[in-house]
Every structure is written in structure tokens, then in C-alpha cells.
Structure 1
Amino acid sequence: MTDRPMNDGYDVVIVGGGAAGLSGALTLARARRSVLVIDAGAPRNTPAEGVRGLPALDGIAPTEYLARVRAEVRGYGAHVVDGEVEAVGRTGDGFAVTSADGRTVRARRLLVTSGLVDELPNVPGLRDRWGRDVLHCPYCHGWEIRDRAVGVLGCGPLSVHQALLLRQWSADVTFFAHTVPPTDEEAEQLAARGIRVVAGTVASLEVAGDRLVGVRSADGTVVERAVLVVAPRMVARAGFLTGLGLWPVEHPSGAGEHIPCDPGGATDVAGVWVAGNVADPSAQVGAAAAAGAAAAIRINADLVAEETRRAVAARRDPFSAEHEARVCASVLGDRRHGL
């Protein structure tokens, strides 16, 4: 983690400082909770030129968006640090969060917003063009590639669906069967929409002047394309949760792995919530931010319920009341020493 001053314990530790994590932090900090955000600094949308479809901020650079929200979060007293979480374990009625550099902090509750990794097909040149003219989401990039020559790589269960979607933005769409040739029904759908199907595997991309100009098949045929759309396998960044018995599972869409949760973000492990792409691979920035805020509201309600139970117990037992006073003083002391 960074050398910024931190407390030993927080009401909530948030793992991941993207839209979901920072939105959750903003909500919790405004609820006067002590909050620590630990961010590994590898946002999924870094290659993109701008965040699209975000009301009032459409087109803002991803780095600028995160910097703005970080400043807002810190303005309410939350701590935001750079670092990578290596492990999380139980400690008493809370959690111990350990970073890669060996530092450990305590948390009463945990919000995981660590996002996902896009695993791309093994096609030479694909990774180099990712986020520029190799794309994945028509709702993120469709307007920018409208009326251009678009290719869709058949590489996953959502590939045909992508091709049919992209037809909304361009009349010139070609589906490269690659490793996922369309079924007879899908082939009929593609043909009905005027989408050409190229059989065989894709060998490489053709690039000229730092721009995509074509897709080369294994037989040497080159089809001119300005954009290639792929469906990556999306895998949750959640290995550090295995110590709590939380493992990524296959997403119902077949697009990858996620951490399951209820509609409010609560997982099967008491005290642990998830939000953003680690739970919902398809969530855009706005949806991820909304999920982070929703989870934060439920976390705060859970903490209030716990504090109320303790207060009632303290009222009935003077010795318990004395202990409760010490706990409250400690928590308030942590908040007074916030950044």
C-alpha cells in the first residue's frame, strides 16, 4: 500500500477504487462511516478514450473521472490508498485485510469492487489494438464506430448476439466464425440481417499506419475491416476472497466468472458485499456506480442494526455498557483522525 497515514481499523474497507468502489465510499463517508479504499490501479477501461453513456459526464477520460471521484471521497474524510489486497480473513466479528506489502487493517464490513480481467482470444495483434479499434461493447463504442466496416469475432457464447447488435450501428457487419461457428438458426438470423459470415479461423489482424485495416483468415484471405468486436472471457478479480470461502463461479450468461450476490450486493459470507464488474460483468460505469451506492446503503443499515443491538444490550447490562462506551470512543477517535 501507499505510505499515506491509515488507521488500524475501519467501519468498512473497500477493495477496488473504480466507479463501484468510489461510489460506495462516497455514500458511506457521507453516512459518517470510517472508510478505507484500497485500489490496485488497474481499471478495466484504461485503454478507452472516454467513458460513454454516463449522464453529464459523457466522454470524460477514465483517469479524469476517477480523479474527480477520489477527490470527492477524500473530501468527506475517507482514506483512498494505492495497493493490492493479497488476502482477507476473519478476525473476531470482522475482517483482517492484508496487502501485498504485508500491511494489515481491520474492517467491520467488507465491500469488494475489484472488477474483472478481460481474457482475450489468442489472435496475434488483438491485445495491442484493445480499446482502440478492437472493442467489445456496442453501448460503449457503437456510436463512435457507426457506419464503419465492422467485424465480429466468433469466440464465445455472446458473439452472434454481438453481431446482431452491431447491425444497429452499421450496415456493413461481417461475422468471422473463428472458434464459434453459428448454428443453422443463427446463420439464418445473420443472413436475414445482411451480415456476412466468413468460415474458418482468424490468423491475425492487418494493421497499417497504427490502425486496423483488415482481418486475415488462416487460409490467407484478408477481409477489409476498420473495427473488430470480440467477446472476451470476463474473470472476476477475487482470488483474495478464497480465505473466506468465496470463489468465483460461472456467470449465467456463459461470458465468464463472477461472485454471486443478492440484489443488494450481499454475498453468502456475512459481512461481505460485492458491486460492479466483480458481480456483474456487463455493468457499465453508471450501473457499477449505482450498485456500489446500493451496497453501501445496505452495509450502513447492517452496521446500524448491529450498533442498535449492542446499545440495547448495554442498556440492560452496565458492564456491557462500559465496554460499549470504550468501543464507541475508539471508533470516534478513528474518525477524528481521518484524512
Structure 2
Amino acid sequence: MEYDSVIIGGGAAGLSAALVLSRARRKVLLVDSGSPRNVKARHLHGFLSRDGMASAELLDVGKREALGYGTEIVQARVDSISKDLTVHCDNGIDVRARAVVVATGLRDELPAIAGLAELWGRKALHCPYCHGYEVRERTLGVIGGENRPFSIHQASLVRQWSEDVVFFPGIIELEPEERRRLQARGVYIAEGAVQAVEDDRDGVAVVLEGGAAIHRSAVFVGPRFLPRHELLVELGCARADSGWVETDAVGTTSVPGVWAAGNVADSPAQIINAASAGSRAAIAINHYLLEQDIVAAVSARY
């Protein structure tokens, strides 16, 4: 089987690409493993006209729209992509693509703190732009992690939504100037390693070494963002010094016919930005395919 485009990943970026390409009357296959990054988040915010929608509902609506324009969707995991752009799936199906979009997103690596993963997406949050308004004017905490710059910035940023913010630097040793900036911002700094984060009815208890616990309504955490770009790396896509796959403004990689869209290539991408990236990649792919179509037509005629 050959498709104009095979899209790997059924999140906002992948579905947006599928929608645009299918409306352009391209033959599109979307392969989705069914493991979205935001599966634990109850609602999404900051997406114009979709603010407050359940995260799963956005994906369901997107799939229905793409299917309505002829996109084929299969649930499977892609094992590899060959140099000739044959996509090999774990269900035994191999499909040939003229162009491939990898929209497999990223995963959040949380600090190794007991109880944190269980509260992730509910009372342990990542993005204040996504969830800050919902916990505004409450007692908030920010837990530091290996993503040092992000954690310190997050502590200052979260103060915008509450006058009562505690920063738990944990493994982060603050420089004097960093400490002054946080304190001037009105952020209280709680010293000591964080041993656990416990569910505490209307909030969480942040337990420090020695057993002291500080109650917060919610905590924000800065995870390490790890792109799910194994398919791109194995295919030979060039990477930047950061380790992330290099792309241009429309998601083009160094491998002809291969695009990367959304969080797999852009760590801070919000859902609305991921959807936009999918749309940009789709338009670029259609122009790429159009040029191939014209060259083939000219060759056939003359």
C-alpha cells in the first residue's frame, strides 16, 4: 500500500496534519499508538474555542474530523521507518509513503520523589499557562528538579497566580542573585530535600527531610522534556547541539520526505502550537508532493 503521507502520532500535531492533507485530497494514513502525553490532564486550556474541553474529547473530535475527509486511522506502534519511507508497524503492516510526518511528542521525566507521579496532571502540574488560572489565589508550591533553569523560572512565574508561593529547590543550589530575585518577587524558599508529595484531601503535603510537611493546594514541577524521536534518529535525521532533531520553520528534517511536528521537535509547544505545527508541516508536504506530481507529469508528457 502506498500513501501520499503517513502520519505517526495522533495528538494535536498529527491530527492537524491529517486534516489539512486530507482536505487537500491527499491519501493519508495516521498511525496512533493511543498513548497521548496529556492523558492524565482532565482539561485543556488556552486553545481558542476549546478552552476547558476534556483532553480526550479534543482528540476524539479531531479524529472524527480527519476521518470525515478520508484519513485512514489505525491503532498501532511504528517500529521503524526505512530509507525508502516504508513505515513498519508492530501489527505486521508495512506501508509506503511519499512523505512522512513524525508527531510522536515527548515524555515528561519527573523528579524521583515519592507520590509525585501519582498526582501528576491533577495536583502536581507542569504549565501555569495551562492550569495556573484554575488554582489562582490558592497556596501553591514549585518543586525544583533536574531542569534547573525551568524550575527557577517557574517559581517566579507561578507567583503571578498567587501571593502565597513556596519554592522547594531540593537538588538545586541557588546562586545569591537567584535567591534575591525570588525573595524580591515574594516567593518563600523552603530549604531541604523533598522526600515525598502526599495527597492531602483538598491539596498536597510536601514532606521535607526530617519529616516536616508543608501543605499546598497544588504544586508545579519542572520535568525534563525528552522527545520521543527515536524513529527520526534511527532514520538519520540531523540533530542540534541540544540533542533534539533539527527542523526548519515548517518541520522539514534533514532526510528528504520526512517532517517532524509538535512536541517531538519543540519542547515548549502548547497544544494550540502543536496543532499549528501540524498544519504548517501539512502545507509544506502538499507543496513537496505537488512538485513531484508536476515533474512526473512533465516527464510523462514530454
Spell out the pairing of 1:217-256 with structure 2 (5 A cutoff): 217-246=208-237, 251=242
Q: 2:108 aligns with which of 109, 112, 118?
A: 118
Spell out the pairing of 1:1-339 with structure 2 (5 A cutoff): 8-91=1-84, 95-155=85-145, 156=147, 157-209=149-201, 211-246=202-237, 251=242, 258-316=244-302
Q: 1:188 is matched by which residue type in structure 2? A: R
Aligned partners of 1:150 and 1:228 also within 8 Å:
yes
- Offset of residue 212 of structure 1: 3.4
| CA distances 1:49-106 after superposition (whole Å, capped 9, x unpaired) | 1110111111111111111111110111110111111101122xxx110112222111
- Offset of residue 248 of structure 1: 6.1
Aligned partners of 1:133 and 1:227 also within 8 Å:
yes
Whole-angstrom distance in 2 between the partners of 1:219 and 1:184: 25
Q: 2:203 is matched by which residue type in structure 1? A: L
| CA distances 1:148-194 after superposition (whole Å, capped 9, x unpaired) | 11111111221010011101100111111111122211111101011
**TM-score normalised by length of structure 2:** 0.96
Look up the SS of the partner of 2:48 in the other structure: coil
Whole-angstrom distance in 2 between the partners of 1:242 and 1:10: 23
Q: 2:232 is matched by which residue type in structure 1? A: L
Q: Is the alpha carbon distance of 1:248 and 1:136 closer, same or farther for their aligned partners in structure 2, counting shifts above 3 Å?
A: farther
Aligned partners of 1:112 and 1:274 also within 8 Å:
yes
Whole-angstrom distance in 2 between the partners of 1:248 and 1:100: 26
- Kindly report the root-mean-square deviation, in angstroms, between the aligned alpha carbons of the 2 structures: 1.4
Whole-angstrom distance in 2 between the partners of 1:298 and 1:250: 25
- Offset of residue 241 of structure 1: 2.7
Whole-angstrom distance in 1 between the partners of 2:39 and 2:60: 13
Look up the SS of the partner of 2:83 in the other structure: strand
Gaps of 5+ in 1: 1-7, 252-256, 317-339
Aligned partners of 1:236 and 1:277 also within 8 Å:
yes
Percent of aligned positions with the same letter in both sequences?
45
Q: 2:31 is matched by which residue type in structure 1? A: I
- Offset of residue 114 of structure 1: 0.6
Look up the SS of the partner of 1:311 in the other structure: helix
Whole-angstrom distance in 1 between the partners of 2:92 and 2:207: 48
- Offset of residue 225 of structure 1: 1.2
Q: 2:120 is matched by which residue type in structure 1? A: W
Gaps of 5+ in 2: none
Whole-angstrom distance in 2 between the partners of 1:234 and 1:109: 27
Look up the SS of the partner of 1:158 in the other structure: helix
Q: 2:45 is matched by which residue type in structure 1? A: R
Whole-angstrom distance in 1 between the partners of 2:203 and 2:58: 28
Q: 1:78 is matched by which residue type in structure 2? A: T
Whole-angstrom distance in 1 between the partners of 2:55 and 2:154: 24
- Offset of residue 240 of structure 1: 2.4
Whole-angstrom distance in 2 between the partners of 1:146 and 1:250: 37
Whole-angstrom distance in 2 between the partners of 1:311 and 1:212: 64
Look up the SS of the partner of 1:90 in the other structure: coil
Look up the SS of the partner of 2:29 in the other structure: strand
Aligned partners of 1:152 and 1:162 also within 8 Å:
yes
